[in-house]
Structure 1
């Protein structure tokens, strides 16, 4: 059977070769190039150079067979012998085919690709080829490749083998940075080149072009002058949604430049939704270039409003109204190249419902704004705390995968009016709310550029995914606190600090590695008290003693300072088995199963009946880093606080708080600062705090103010070595 299979494979290979046309290229592959191409494909030195004769000699059929034997591909060797006979030289075309067989046989076909590369510049010292589509590494001689178009086999950014060279090349979307007499200077990937252009009739600067070049001479130049301008409403793989123009596809070789900074090249990550100071160079209905005419502003923020209960990012329908007259602004096709903007005025009390098949939404986004600048728009189809929320600024509706996305765009300061009371009780007083305002402003600005919601047209959403917004309406205290700290943010070494905060500590905070990753130097674990006591809560025995006492810290008066919950073996087993598949899907690296090879990430749906649970490792401040759970059918290690808290769901079971009250509606543990004791067939969790524990404790802030500290002192207590600076261009 094996022999028959080999014969069939050989016939297939022979048929493939026989059907290929003879290559007209008169070049042949030398040994050095052949060895390098195979080693580049494998990413390591599989073929040893010392096993072959002079590297400048041509590869023969015998050399090919030796290489294939080294690779363990003897089957291919027989096929190639039939095709090439006793050839003492291998053409580039045939070597390219041989490499194709090798990549297919070794499973690398998916990661090896053939590309056409336009060579703009060569860095011989670092063996880099700079093209108009990125940089590539080529480990062989780079002579005579300037201004050439090559067809090459590549793996990632490594050139494996050059199959063909064309002496004329077309560079797309180059930037002309200046001209003088009969010369133009262009820039690509930071490299400037000057070309002669006869009969130049105007001075050129900041203009994009396509150049056809041969031997450092321009054969043809096509200037790209057509542009559009408008606010960026969304950014996705399909293009950029520009207000008034809809979604415009990005050219494969688009460029981004900051014209305010000497046309410095930027990445698409520097273009953010909401930006309006942009020019888009368009050719053939595609965006070829993006010019940022000023630094992105932090004045406004775009907030995605989730559905009732925060269950989804998009809506099946949206109903709006207002207590004052309001406009509905939309675009209408009138047969011209671009849709025409229209504005309809509605009376106060009017209610409008938009469904997913709304004709206006099919043309472009719809904006809804109150006629009075202080008016608000109500979302009647959304509920927050049993009420329909009202929003300042503009409500924007768009389509995303057939559903409606709702964006609230408003000034950053007005956004904070409704973030501060949603994140901290207004009863804490204005000084405490100032702390929250600076933290919330810093957090918002630091997330404006992360791009996670760009496809929807937003920078943040209104849930705990970012900061809770407008679940509690703005009030006099929250507005006063925001105004008193207008524009203030926390900075560390010239960068906006990521000001994590949470509700209540167990008496100590932790560092930012609570989620994994590298630590932030300004967020460190510390005991929250007047005395600088050095207690190592990462030690299990020390933590167990600490958590069962009411140590005198700033959070001591909180009802969440200490808590406990008792679960039966059955309840705990049901909770873990009911959640572990979901937790694994969300955090596969944080759910590890014991095997003969140790703990490994492996999907599972059940661990059987829980027989033991204990803390394997604690982090700074006592947060659990690793929790071991033994079941009758599996033993698992759960890593980091998010997975741990969500795996053990106490819903329907009373969590007893420090003030004598209890709550039984939690779907996750209040924190990962706890210890577990087994008592017969039940397990009692003794814990403290509410939240992740990194950064600022909101409950502690109230106590610190009562002790006479002001908001600036408190901020610098929680965030080490930060400065309070002003974010806006003009105060």
Structure 2
């Protein structure tokens, strides 16, 4: 464990880390990236509060200007069988674009860029179209405390930028590229921006992680519990850059945790009656539960580790279960899927003097840092 190792040994680790990724640090130009990102904010909504900090133009799906709304005026977009209704305007799709670098109001937050309101089965799908770098100002602050060391924030910025572009290029659909929740990465609009998140994003502008010339799936998590995972041991297909490595997250408040359930309470959540026995059936090399059997007095179910985790609201699938007296005690480590960048590991490494390139080079293997040639115009 890194915390029990002498300081001198950790310095040797940092020195070896620096030398091992020296060539990897060289930046290279790549093809121009698409910098406008489409972020899903809401879907299946009956109505959504909208507005703009400045005068904003309202357009239909064909780009025809329908009119303008005044700055700081409140509206409510409504979905119906006739389309999206906003004030006196109605169409299957409407967009709101603030003038003069204004912000758009959606729900209860301000966002940069513009908003698109789409009618789908009489419900609203709300999409924020925003410049990639502006988007990252928010994501870095939503995914990592802005008070953390700047090098950790910069590592987060590069990982989040890489992840967003990978999703845009590989999994985005006709309406949006990423979601605004942990289903993709957390995005809270202007609310989570700070001077430090701007600094982290601006100082790494356009930098992404690549493998064989392609932007990688730069997933990240809070804390692995001591060692990250090979991606195929948790999900499905192997990737050469998502390999398990030693983590340095022992200072994380979520490094170790414990939860207890009565057999009745657990059975209610798992829908098996009163739980009698829990039998692990498959685990990853690091001990993450991939499959287990839950035996109840009414039913027996075989669940994936993720299904069990989400049903009981556990922090990770790296856990053990013991029956103690009249309850089941679950003792675990880490928070999240344990693949790729460990945020608490990045925090510790940055505190000990590692820069963001070293941090990224440790958690993502066989990659290089590339600077994309991006169109810097906002919106």
Asked whether the two chains share a fold, i.e. TM above 0.5, the reply is: yes
1:443 matches 2:163:
yes
What is the aligned counterpart of 1:485 among 201, 204, 212? 204
Q: Is the 8 A contact 1:429 1:477 kept in 2?
A: no
User: 1:507 maps to which residue?
Assistant: 226
Q: 1:473 to 1:612 in 2, by over 3 A?
A: same
1:325 aligns with 2:40: no
Alignment of 1:249-288 (within 5 A): none
CA drift at 1:620: 2.7
Q: Is the 1:645–1:670 Cα contact (8 Å) retained in structure 2? A: yes
Q: Which residue of 2 aligns with 1:460?
A: 178
Partner of 1:305: 41
Give the one of 609, 612, 617 matched to 2:282: 617
Relative to 1, partners in 2 of residues 1:345 and 1:506: Cα closer, same or farther, differing over 3 Å?
A: same
Q: Which has the higher contact order (CA 8 A, sep 6+)?
A: 2
Summarize the Cα distance change of 1:632–1:449 in structure 2 as closer, same or farther, 3 Å threshold. Answer: same
CA shift for structure 1 position 362: 5.3
Kindly indicate whether the alpha-carbon contact (under 8 Å) linking 1:515 and 1:642 is maintained by their aligned counterparts in 2.
no
Matches of 1:359 and 1:679 in 2, distance apart?
58
Structure-1 residue corresponding to 2:11: none
Q: Provide closer, same or farther for how the CA distance between residues 461 and 611 of structure 1 changes in structure 2, counting only shifts above 3 A.
A: same
Query: Are positions 1:346 and 2:10 aligned together?
Result: no
Is the partner of 1:692 in helix, strand or coil? coil
| Change in 2 beyond 3 A, CA 1:488/1:568 | same
From 303, 312, 336, the equivalent of 1:638 is 303
For the residues of structure 1 that align with 2:172 and 2:234, how far apart are their CA atoms?
Answer: 18
The answer to whether structure 1 residue 410 and structure 2 residue 130 are counterparts is yes
How far the C-alpha of 1:404 sits from its partner, in A, is 1.8
Partner of 1:376: 103
Q: CA shift at 1:424, angstroms?
A: 0.7
Q: Deviations over 1:311-352 (max 9, x none)?
A: xx2321222223322222337xxxxxxx78225233322122
CA shift in 2, pair 1:451/1:710, >3 Å: closer
**CA distances 1:357-412 after superposition (whole Å, capped 9, x unpaired):** 44687545322122112x10112xx2xxxxx2101111111211221221111111
Q: Distance in 1 between matches of 2:285 and 2:46?
A: 45
The Cα shift of 1:637 comes to: 2.8
| Equivalent-residue separation in structure 1 for 2:355 and 2:241 (angstroms) | 19
Aligned equivalent of 1:576: 270
Q: Deviations over 1:622-680 (max 9, x none)?
A: 211222322234443323x3212023x2xxxxxxxxxxxxxxxxxx1111111111112
Q: CA deviation at 1:513?
A: 2.3
- 1:59-458 equivalence runs, <5 A: 297-306=33-42, 313-330=43-60, 341-356=64-79, 357=82, 358=84, 363-373=91-101, 375-379=102-106, 382=107, 388-451=108-171, 453-454=173-174, 457-458=175-176
Q: 2:300 and 2:95 mapped to 1: Cα distance?
A: 54
Aligned partners of 1:717, 1:709: CA distance in 2, in Å?
10
**3-state SS of 2:373 partner:** coil
1:422 Cα deviation from its structure 2 partner? 0.7
Following the alignment from structure 2 to structure 1, what is the Cα–Cα distance between the partners of residues 63 and 169?
Answer: 31
Q: CA RMSD in A?
A: 2.2
The answer on 1:713 being equivalent to 2:358 is: yes
Report the Cα distance in structure 1 between the residues aligned to 2:49 and 2:338, rounded to whole angstroms: 39
Residue 608 of structure 1 contacts residue 633 of structure 1 at CA under 8 Å; is this kept in 2?
Answer: yes
Residue pair 1:526, 1:621 contacting (<8 A) in 2 also:
no
CA distance in 1, matches of 2:138, 2:260: 37
Relative to the length of structure 1, the TM-score reads: 0.44
Structure 2, gaps ≥5 residues long:
1-30
SS in 2 for 1:427: coil
Match of 1:447, SS state, is helix
Kept after mapping to 2: 8 A contact 1:298/1:728: no
Who is 1:282 aligned against? none
Alpha carbons of structure 1 residues 625 and 364: separation in structure 2 relative to 1, 3 Å? closer
Q: Is the 8 A contact 1:514 1:692 kept in 2?
A: no
Q: What secondary structure, in the 3-state scheme, does the structure 1 residue paired with 2:281 have?
A: strand
Question: What secondary structure, in the 3-state scheme, does the structure 2 residue paired with 1:727 have?
Answer: strand
Q: CA deviation at 1:701?
A: 0.6
Alignment-derived partner of residue 111 in structure 1: none
**365 and 296 in structure 1: CA distance in 2 versus 1, 3 angstrom threshold:** farther
Deviations 1:43-81 (A, max 9, x none): xxxxxxxxxxxxxxxxxxxxxxxxxxxxxxxxxxxxxxx
Q: Which runs of 5+ in 1 are unaligned?
A: 1-294, 307-312, 332-338, 383-387, 529-553, 578-606, 650-667
- How much does 1:437 deviate? 0.5
Equivalent of residue 335 in structure 2, options 690, 694, 698:
690
Shift in Å, 1:681:
2.2
1:129-161 deviation per Cα after TM superposition (whole angstroms, max 9, x unaligned): xxxxxxxxxxxxxxxxxxxxxxxxxxxxxxxxx
Tell me which of 228, 240, 248 is aligned to 1:521. Answer: 240
SS of 1:557's equivalent in the other structure is coil
3-state SS in 2 of match to 1:622: coil
- Structure 1 CA distance for aligned equivalents of residues 273 and 73 of structure 2: 57
Question: Any conservation in 2 of the 1:298–1:727 contact (CA below 8 Å)?
Answer: no
- Structure-2 change in CA distance of 1:314 and 1:298 (3 Å): same
Paired residues of 2:33 and 2:372 also in contact (CA < 8 A): no
